[in-house]
Chain A
Amino acid sequence: MDKREPVIIVEGLTVQYGDNVVLDNVSFEVYKGEIFVIAGGSGCGKSTLLKHIIGLETPYSGKIIINGVDTTNIEDEEMERLRRGIGMLFQGSALFGSMTIGENVALPLTEFTDLSQSAMDLIVKMKLGMVDLSGYENHFPSELSGGMKKRAGIARAMSLEPAMLFLDEPSAGLDPVTTAELDVLIKKINEGIGTTMVIVTHELETIFNVSHRIIMLDKETKGIIAEGDAKELKEHSQNRRVRNFFNRQVEEKNN
């Protein structure tokens, strides 16, 4: 049994829209300080699972416990407080287009801290330096490339020094070099700050480069078909779909 401290516990989570079951009885734990990857093919419910963990959607049944608090059964105010300890990078970065990059990063600091303007400016500069966007504080999101937007999104997600960081498809739409740079940044933040990270991705490079542990979701079973170390699963998994995923093989269709 794992002796590490679980910070996220998902118990028997079922997600259902009408008659359409997306996730069926999914259970797993995420431990403090680890990089946990939720992998799987397109449409298997990865992003849906992430949205349920951060409380953007309510599950059909099951429990989601974050830092010992059952988020499926708490008051809105308590959920808001809990979310301030969580950073989230959305698939499309979700930077506010009407604000500069500096204002985007400073927004949570402005709202939830009593920092002076000079201290805030300094923190913004530091966060942008961490993600290699030094000097871009007065640019608008529309003036940045996809990779730069992702990095700015990470800087904003990190602005309140969250203990947990959730990243939804961080490398989607990025070139291999930018993806590798982003992977390095993710590892650097995890190792330096000890931030627990939950990453949703189907990029094999990212999975192998950054993950400590993964779960793999499956569209047909609507549940977890593999859990553990990515390299181990690639080499030794008995599940054909897991092997196909890691070896980029086309699924054989039964006619």
Chain B
Amino acid sequence: MPGNGKSFSIEGKKNGDITLFLRGRIGLADFTVLFSEIKTLFIEFSPSKLTVDFSHVEYFDSSGALFLVQLEDEAVAQSVPFTIINVSAQQKQMLSLVDREALRAPSLRVRERSLNLVEQLGNETMNVLRDAYEVILFWGELVYEVVFSIRHPGNIRWNDVVSYMKKVGVDGLPIVALISFLLGLIMAFMSALQLKPFGANIYVASLVAVAMVRELGPIITAIIVAGRSGSAFAAEIGTMRVNEEVDALITMGFNPTRFLAIPKLLASMFVVPILTGFSNIFAIAGGLFVGVLGLDLTVYTYVKETMDAIDMFDVMSGLLKSIVFAAFIAAIGCQRGFKVRGGAEAVGNATTSAVVSAIFLIIIIDSTFAITFHYIR
């Protein structure tokens, strides 16, 4: 048998003494060939004795040693006497590195089998319930800390509040403004297509104004803040957990919720309504752009129609909603951050979860507000 022409050759007769001459590099690069050769060698030759000659081996690594150990195990299993000759001291030491017990040792943990549909449903339900329980617990703690902070305003880290107001508000304004302007523009353009045949161009202004101020302004702003800042809160606190910074705060006698979550919560509740106001203004400007350039409306007519369409209740209800959205975005971001256990992956999961949960909550809360305001009016 010629072997692969590089690593080995075999001398001897079938059912007789066989010598396996190894040469050149016996290691990882040739492991696949060597590994598959073990079985064919015994099937093809059925040796009565197997000798492995190392005299021409130039390179021998632990994968090569593993091949030798496998070969010897197979020989022992088939009751074939096995000998290694011309082996150097270093090669012997390499062979001793392969722990035969370790190769046979079962895994200390069997891989979990994949769950069936019912088990997955049960598992997910339990996860959702557990998550809801943890969120409620955190909310309880947060409300307590908010009340404490209101009673002791000196304990609030105002520098942090200002810093987060800048991060959430000032830094978020360009993207909120751009998206809102484009949204107003799209709404006006699309509604104009429908209203123009009826000569009802003027109602584009009221449509954009009412839709933005009552519903879309707070929602769009909240979704952008959830994506920008809610995720950042989760990542920041999550990384602090991984680096044991939260544990350090606790051992120094700080309340981590008061120290980390309250400034973020207050800052968000202060600036998100302002961002919402800007969102409304920029969306109306987008509508105005289409109205003036595409629908032959004057600026005065468009603005007057806008002002007539919305009242103080619309504005205030939108701002109230945005305050509530801000509280939920900050709270869920912080809660997801505090929940982090493990490493980088857990921080990533917390960030994703913070954004998804916040958007889900925003929609639920908005629906609740819509029904409530309908009956109040």
Contacts and interface: CB of A to CB of B under 8 A. Distances in A.
Contacts of A161: 27-28, 61-63
A128 B99 CA distance: 9
B98 A98 contact: no
B108 interface: yes
A216 interface: no
A213 interface: no
Interface stretch (B141-149, B165-173, B341-349): B341-349
B115 interface: no
B90 interface: yes
Interface stretch (A46-54, A75-83, A129-137, A203-211): A129-137
A177 interface: no
Interface in A101-149: 102, 113-116, 119, 122-123, 125-130, 134-139, 141-142
A115 B32 contact: yes
Contacts of B109: 138-139
Contact of A97 (B31, B105, B344): B344
Contact of A135 (B28, B90, B107): B107
Contact of B105 (A114, A135, A158): A135
A122 B70 contact: yes
B211 to A, nearest CB: 43
Contacts of A134: 99, 101-102, 105
Taking residues whose C-beta sits less than 8 angstroms from the other chain, chain B's interface range is 20 to 34
Given A135-B107, A138-B107, A129 B35 contact: no
Interface in B88-122: 90, 93-94, 96-99, 101-103, 105-111
Main secondary structure of the interface of B (DSSP, over half): helix
Contact of B343 (A137, A138, A142): A142
Interface stretch (A6-14, A186-194, A227-235): A186-194
Contact of A192 (B63, B70, B94): B94
B106 A115 contact: no
A192 B95 CA distance: 8
A119 B103 CA distance: 12
Q: Which of A114, A123, A189 neighbours the largest number of chain B CB atoms within 10 Å of its CB?
A: A123
A65 interface: no
A138 B111 contact: yes
B185 interface: no
Contacts of B105: 125, 129, 134-135
A160 interface: yes
A129 B62 contact: no
A136 B108 contact: yes
Contacts of A113: 28, 31-32
B213 interface: no
B284 interface: no
Nearest to B90: A194
A126 B94 contact: no
A192 B90 contact: yes
Nearest to A92: B343
A130 B97 contact: yes
A126 B28 contact: no
A253 B195 CA distance: 85
Interface string B47-60: 00000000000000
A161 B99 CA distance: 17
A158 B32 CA distance: 18
B101 A193 contact: no
Contacts of B99: 126, 129-130, 134
A141 B343 contact: yes
Nearest to B98: A126
A142 B109 CA distance: 15
A139 B97 CA distance: 23
Contact of B96 (A98, A139, A192): A192
B235 interface: no
22 contacts: A97-B345, A102-B107, A122-B35, A122-B70, A123-B28, A126-B103, A127-B62, A130-B97, A134-B101, A137-B107, A138-B107, A139-B109, A142-B343, A161-B27, A161-B62, A188-B97, A191-B90, A191-B93, A192-B90, A192-B94, A192-B97, A193-B62
The 9 closest A-B pairs by CB, nearest first: A129-B102, A129-B99, A134-B102, A97-B343, A135-B108, A161-B61, A192-B93, A138-B109, A134-B105
Interface of A: 97-98, 102, 113-116, 119, 122-123, 125-130, 134-139, 141-142, 158, 160-161, 188-189, 191-194
